[in-house]
């Protein structure tokens, strides 16, 4: 064997080993997540979780969301449109995955708005203005209070609610469920209990489509 | 230099030994690069700041030494050496932080993953910075052998 073929052969061998490792690792971790969902199926949706769309829809998208996460921001209108275009067949359940610094404060503000029936307005405003308050090196979630000042909240009440025991409990539960379901990046999607492992908009649409077909028995 | 015919076979042997040493250095760099990419991109462990500096030293070695091997240019050892030594020094520093010899407060690891985190272990036993130090040590030694051969 000459030198060139030794070198090129080694490259090929390492690349093949790498790809084999990818296949083995992905299938194993997919299996782990599936198992985690099976053993913790009650952790997907809690009675306290915000629901967007028809509450009795056949297909449920559970989204573990971090208000500071840019990809969650990018996915928000996509998921909203999917729910709106589904004629009541798809609903969104929002769970929280506060993986960034300051995310828990942002969630508290959103939940305080929810107690006054202004959750979706507050969430949409917080998402739209995310670049202003959610810089990862210097998060300023308190700014959200000013940014949602005009949606019609009783501010004094909201600020009291934001640090209330109800929100504490909700945050603890969501973080526990996030860990039980092995969600380690956001947004983490589950469609009728199936985790979206191969991440992407098209993949999410395909999974929802598949669950819709299954639900309609065709 | 090698005008005397009698010294030719010895020189050739030295050059071949140098090529083999460079091949080993390159192989270590290639495996380390593949391993780092696997940990980062497939297993989803985000590299800390010091890991990034070690990657900056390690990844180019694959290209520099690889081209040297393909063209049988043993001088590639000369260009690879500064990168190998820089990576070796950073890996050593990282190990000292990992073992708590040096305080982590001294390094800019505030954001992203911590350089002293127990998470920087493979299979829960071997610390990644130690793997890196072993790899850079192997490369430095192989390059040294290769340069001795290249001088012949």
Cα Rg of chain B (Å, integer): 18
Two tokens, residue B8:
């030719």
Residue B111, pLDDT score: 46
User: Touching check for A26 and chain B: CB below 8 Å?
Assistant: yes
Q: Is residue B1 part of a domain?
A: no
Rounded distance, CA B34 to CA B55, Å?
11
User: Is the dihedral angle over the CA atoms A176, B47, A70, A161 positive or is it negative?
Assistant: positive
Mutate to test the interface with A, among B33, B38, B64 (most CBs of A within 10 A): B38
Closest-CA residue of chain B to A18: B34
User: Residue B119's pLDDT is what?
Assistant: 59
Query: How many angstroms separate the CA of residue A64 from the nearest CA in chain B?
Result: 18
Chain B residues whose CB is inside 8 A of the A21 CB are: 38, 42
The token duo for A119 is 């959750």
Residue with the two structure tokens 């030794």: A6
A160 touches B at CB < 8 Å: no
Of B37, B43, B66, the CB nearest to A7: B66
3-state SS class at A144: helix
Asked if the structure places residue B3 within a domain, the reply is: no
Quote the pLDDT of residue A41. Answer: 81
pLDDT recorded at residue B68: 94
Quote the tokens at residue A97: 């995955």
- Residue B4 falls inside a structural domain: no
- How far from the centroid of its chain's Cα atoms is residue B110's Cα? 26
**Domain range enclosing B128:** 9-151
Span between the terminal Cα atoms of chain A, in Å? 59
Average pLDDT, consecutive stretches of 10 residues, N- to C-terminus, chain B (152 residues): 58 86 96 94 83 95 96 92 96 88 58 59 76 96 87 62
Between CA A45 and CA A53 the distance in angstroms is 15
Q: Is A63 helix (H, G, I), strand (E, B) or coil?
A: strand
B61 lies in a domain? yes
CB pairs < 8 Å spanning A and B: 35
Q: Do A137 and B111 touch (CB under 8 A)?
A: yes
Structure tokens at B69: 């091997």
Number of domains within chain B: 1
Q: Calculate the CA A157 to chain-centre distance.
A: 28
In a mutagenesis test of the B interface, which of A14, A23, A138 is the best target, namely the one with the most B β-carbons within 10 Å? A14
Alpha helices, H only, B2-115: 8-37, 49-70, 76-98
Contacts of A139 in chain B (CB under 8 A): none
pLDDT of amino acid B108: 47
pLDDT of residue A198: 82
With 0-12 / 13-18 / 19 or more C-beta atoms within 10 angstroms meaning exposed / middle / buried, residue A117 is exposed
Q: Record the pTM.
A: 0.70
Nearest Cα neighbor of B77 from B86, B64, B89 is B64
The per-residue pLDDT for B110 is: 45
Asked if this assembly's ipTM is beyond 0.85, the reply is no
Q: Which residue of A10, A17, A22 is in closest CB contact with B27?
A: A10
Q: At A156, list the tokens.
A: 């004094």
Chain A's closest residue to B32, CA to CA, is A14
Whether residue B101 lies inside any domain: the answer is yes
Q: What is the CATH number of the domain that holds B106?
A: 1.20.1550
pLDDT score recorded for residue B2: 46
Which tokens belong to B2? Answer: 């090698």
- pLDDT tens digits, chain A, 218 residues: what are they? 688 999 999 999 999 999 999 999 988 888 888 888 888 888 889 999 999 999 999 999 999 999 998 899 999 999 999 999 989 999 999 999 998 888 999 999 999 999 999 999 999 999 999 998 988 778 899 999 999 988 988 999 999 999 989 899 999 999 999 989 888 888 999 999 888 888 888 999 999 999 999 887 65
Q: Which of B54, B66, B57, B84 is nearest to B145 (CA)?
A: B84
- In whole angstroms, what is the distance from residue A141 CA to residue A103 CA? 7
Contacts of B12 (CB under 8 A, 6+ apart): none
Structure-block tokens of residue A135: 């810089």
């Amino acid at each position: 064997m000459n030198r060139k073929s030794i070198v090129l052969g080694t490259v090929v061998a390492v690349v093949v080993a790498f790809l084999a490792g990818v296949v083995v690792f992905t299938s194993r971790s997919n299996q782990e997540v599936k198992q985690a969902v099976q053993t913790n199926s009650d952790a997907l949706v809690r009675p306290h979780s915000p629901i967007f769309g028809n509450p009795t829809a056949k297909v449920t998208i559970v989204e573990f969301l971090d208000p500071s996460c840019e990809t969650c921001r990018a996915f928000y209108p996509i998921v909203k449109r999917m729910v709106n275009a589904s004629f009541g067949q798809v609903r969104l359940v929002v769970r929280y995955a506060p993986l960034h610094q300051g995310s828990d404060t942002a969630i508290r503000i959103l939940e305080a708005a929810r107690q006054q029936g202004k959750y979706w307005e507050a969430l949409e405003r917080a998402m739209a203005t995310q670049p202003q308050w959610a810089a990862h090196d210097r998060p300023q979630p308190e700014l959200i209070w000013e940014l949602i000042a005009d949606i019609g909240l009783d501010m004094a009440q909201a600020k009291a609610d934001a640090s209330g025991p109800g929100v504490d409990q909700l945050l603890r539960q969501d973080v526990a469920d996030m860990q039980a379901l092995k969600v380690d990046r956001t947004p983490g999607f589950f469609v009728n209990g199936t985790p979206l492992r191969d991440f992407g908009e098209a993949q999410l649409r395909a999974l929802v489509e598949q669950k819709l077909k299954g639900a309609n028995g065709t | 230099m090698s005008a005397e015919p009698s010294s030719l076979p010895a020189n050739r042997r030295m050059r071949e030994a140098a090529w083999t040493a460079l091949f080993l250095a390159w192989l270590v760099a290639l495996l380390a690069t593949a391993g780092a990419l696997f940990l980062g991109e497939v297993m989803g462990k985000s590299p800390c700041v010091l890991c990034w500096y070690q990657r900056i030293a390690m990844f180019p070695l694959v290209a520099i030494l690889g081209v040297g091997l393909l063209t049988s240019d043993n001088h590639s050892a000369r260009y690879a050496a500064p990168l190998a030594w820089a990576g070796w020094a950073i890996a050593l520093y990282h190990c000292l932080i990992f073992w708590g010899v040096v305080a982590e407060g001294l390094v800019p690891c505030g954001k992203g993953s911590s350089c002293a985190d127990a998470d920087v272990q493979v299979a829960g036993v071997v610390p990644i910075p130690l793997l890196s130090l072993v790899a850079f040590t192997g490369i430095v030694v192989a390059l040294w052998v290769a340069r001795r051969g290249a001088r012949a």
